Structure 1
């Protein structure tokens, strides 16, 4: 029988309380900041007489995880704990010096999903930088990468396209835990913080989240299952277009479509490509919010049949390749109103080369092959930061 995985927060509570005892603590967390038996870390810390938790910091979607994507969150006093909750997805995306002035140590406990677009990792990076500037120790309570720690996919972000959905020379699927990323950020980009990662016990790199015996808690409102998380590295790219990524349906990022798509035609063409580990079926839906709100849409649902074989980035790019080919009059790139970059898709991709390649009719498989060398370089670079 496999040994039970102990999360970083559980190792802290059992073996490392001396790190935080009698210190004023700031904690970056959200609804995923739980132990393996779903006890809330905030509640546990507040119940200890020798622990002084003085402030909370919340990422995108808010401290309670109840805010939709991209919506700015204000700072407030939490009624349940009477603690200030400083928003790191509002007027500022970094802790201010005023918010940090009474803190002696910062903790970070948030479940990431292992994908470059997911903004929690940039909240962590910004907080590491801010803590480094004022000499605050920073402690990451490590958690599994739900997609495992072996596979790495996607291109590397180009520096000119750094944003809050892509930065730090990461590929789309990086195969690192949040603690490994913290070490990579701090050392590779010279953030200068006194960093400590509280490692998990008994987690292995080849484990997917449902092989850990840990209970899945949605890390954001639209990533409600592990199946969604596996598909997300590919279908999040749809956010940069006028295609619905399924927000406002029961299967966001799994069901993709638009009012001008023929679901039967699209599923037939995608299945003919024989993409590894995935099948497509036609679907019909009317989103309750976001793109095509209350309009009848057709499209496809992704069904993964083999997680080991499935390549979400290749599948997502093939989806776009086929839609552009079948529906050139309906398809559009999502434009940005105020940015040095014209298209949101380019920020998601960390380059404009992918969009330009698709426009010219370049095949998705050729686009993927074009970044093999840079991906190999990243794999070599990340080796020194792997903790498991």
Structure 2
């Protein structure tokens, strides 16, 4: 669906005639095909990371730097850094890029005056965003997108978003919609955990619904849309190469379970960081892995199975310890519901675990969930199905709200 957008927005959506022949073309692909006309009006900065590549795997910063008349002047690195060398919760310090010679600014978790000052110091008048997201509210690249829109609105800069697919499809919205008071860098706006939107669509929503309250006006936003992507398309149907968006997002399979199992980051259990199966390996000495698997098998949850496994996390919780836990295996991704599945896993783990079960008193879990009710109901033993049912009215309102910002059918 291509339609008009909020005030101050221009959207480039090319026709889809070539899609069937060529597969999905990203916003960058289309901008390149057009000769980058939107990037020839003055110095601009690029928010990017290792996923910001063309179909052959060449980084777009290198392409733009080598293109005559395209004045790329600076780069900005989100969480994990511009070249992707940092682990979760970290970034790369300000530097000069070895390949292009351009300055690279660290903007991880920067917002407000701090981010505005960085953009101003970069000597630019336009910010370009091109990063592969994974379709989940607490994956921080969309928080960087949000904060950058606010900074551009305050400065009067144009912001250009080169769109990329939502890898876990754009059909489903699931999980609690974030409630007031739970805003953080893992949740900037009132959207559900699984939002079912592309970064370009999210930019349209953020700019119209949230940015004016923070900046006094929307940003001058331009979204360069994709060609050939549809809402029911999983990433491995796009014809695009998969580049891990972060060190512990090695595959599409990880992205499929992540909307649910990342909630375990709010517990004392490991999510398997630094193993071959992050977010599919879960466990810790707090929970008997065999009993946990047995309980979940009795549930017969759709689209997945569980097995006992031993693993040794390389990072974060229980790093270096050998743990008996479980592996979550998706057998039917169409039937699998990551967030309700994880809620059931949490319910059984909480019942089996010693205390404490929540990290930092539950604050991290509440920020991930976007509310305080989900944890409270789990603690009271409320059935996961009832918790999920309670999310539906807010999800219905969000679906109605997001419909005006969608670009693809």
TM-score with structure 1 setting the length:
0.95
Deviation digits for residues 173-205 of structure 1 (CA, Å, limit 9, x no counterpart): 110000000000000114411100000011111
Equivalence for 2:312 = 286
2:34 pairs with 1:8: no
Equivalence for 1:36 = 55
Query: Would the aligned equivalents of 1:26 and 1:57 in 2 still touch at CA under 8 Å?
Result: yes
- SS at structure 2 position matched to 1:359: helix
Query: Would the aligned equivalents of 2:288 and 2:352 in 1 still touch at CA under 8 Å?
Result: no
Distance in 2, matches of 1:228 and 1:311, equals 14
Query: What are the residue-to-residue correspondences of 1:269-348 with 2, within 5 Å?
Result: 269-327=295-353, 329-335=354-360, 343-348=363-368
Equivalence for 1:133 = 154
TM-fit CA distance, 1:248: 2.2
TM-fit CA distance, 1:330: 4.5
Query: What are the residue-to-residue correspondences of 1:166-181 with 2, within 5 Å?
Result: 166-181=187-202
Distance in 2, matches of 1:237 and 1:253, equals 10
Distance in 2, matches of 1:106 and 1:239, equals 32
For structure 2, the 5+ residue unaligned runs are: 1-18, 213-217
Distance in 2, matches of 1:98 and 1:36, equals 31
- SS at structure 2 position matched to 1:154: strand
**Structure with the larger RCO, 1 or 2 (CA within 8 Å, 6+ apart):** 2
Deviation digits for residues 71-108 of structure 1 (CA, Å, limit 9, x no counterpart): 25422222222111111116668633353352122110
Work out which of the residue numbers 143, 147, 170 in structure 2 matches 1:122.
Answer: 143
Query: What are the residue-to-residue correspondences of 1:95-174 with 2, within 5 Å?
Result: 95-101=115-121, 102-174=123-195
Distance in 1, matches of 2:95 and 2:49, equals 14
Query: Would the aligned equivalents of 2:135 and 2:196 in 1 still touch at CA under 8 Å?
Result: yes
Query: Would the aligned equivalents of 2:110 and 2:147 in 1 still touch at CA under 8 Å?
Result: no
Question: Structure 1 pair 363/16, CA: closer, same or farther in 2 (3 Å)?
Answer: farther
- Number of corresponding residues: 382
Question: Structure 1 pair 282/41, CA: closer, same or farther in 2 (3 Å)?
Answer: same
Work out which of the residue numbers 64, 70, 81 in structure 2 matches 1:62.
Answer: 81
Q: Which runs of 4+ in 1 moved over 4 A?
A: 90-94
Deviation digits for residues 34-69 of structure 1 (CA, Å, limit 9, x no counterpart): 112212111111111211110001100100111111
User: Considering only aligned residues, what root-mean-square deviation do their CA atoms show, in Å?
Assistant: 1.6
Query: Would the aligned equivalents of 2:271 and 2:279 in 1 still touch at CA under 8 Å?
Result: yes
TM-fit CA distance, 1:299: 1.0
Distance in 2, matches of 1:35 and 1:316, equals 34
Equivalence for 1:225 = 251
- SS at structure 1 position matched to 2:402: helix
Work out which of the residue numbers 190, 199, 210 in structure 2 matches 1:189.
Answer: 210
Deviation digits for residues 249-275 of structure 1 (CA, Å, limit 9, x no counterpart): 111101001024322221111111111
For structure 1, the 5+ residue unaligned runs are: 337-341
Distance in 2, matches of 1:264 and 1:241, equals 19
- SS at structure 1 position matched to 2:397: helix
Distance in 2, matches of 1:261 and 1:248, equals 20
Query: Would the aligned equivalents of 1:260 and 1:298 in 2 still touch at CA under 8 Å?
Result: no
TM-score with structure 2 setting the length:
0.90
Deviation digits for residues 295-332 of structure 1 (CA, Å, limit 9, x no counterpart): 221111111111111110011111110011122x2452
Deviation digits for residues 202-256 of structure 1 (CA, Å, limit 9, x no counterpart): 1111100011111111000001010000000110000001000111211110100
Quick check: 238-247 or 82-91, which moved more?
Answer: 82-91
Distance in 2, matches of 1:213 and 1:199, equals 17
Deviation digits for residues 348-377 of structure 1 (CA, Å, limit 9, x no counterpart): 011111111111111111111111111011
Query: Would the aligned equivalents of 1:68 and 1:221 in 2 still touch at CA under 8 Å?
Result: yes
Distance in 2, matches of 1:92 and 1:150, equals 30
Equivalence for 2:238 = 212
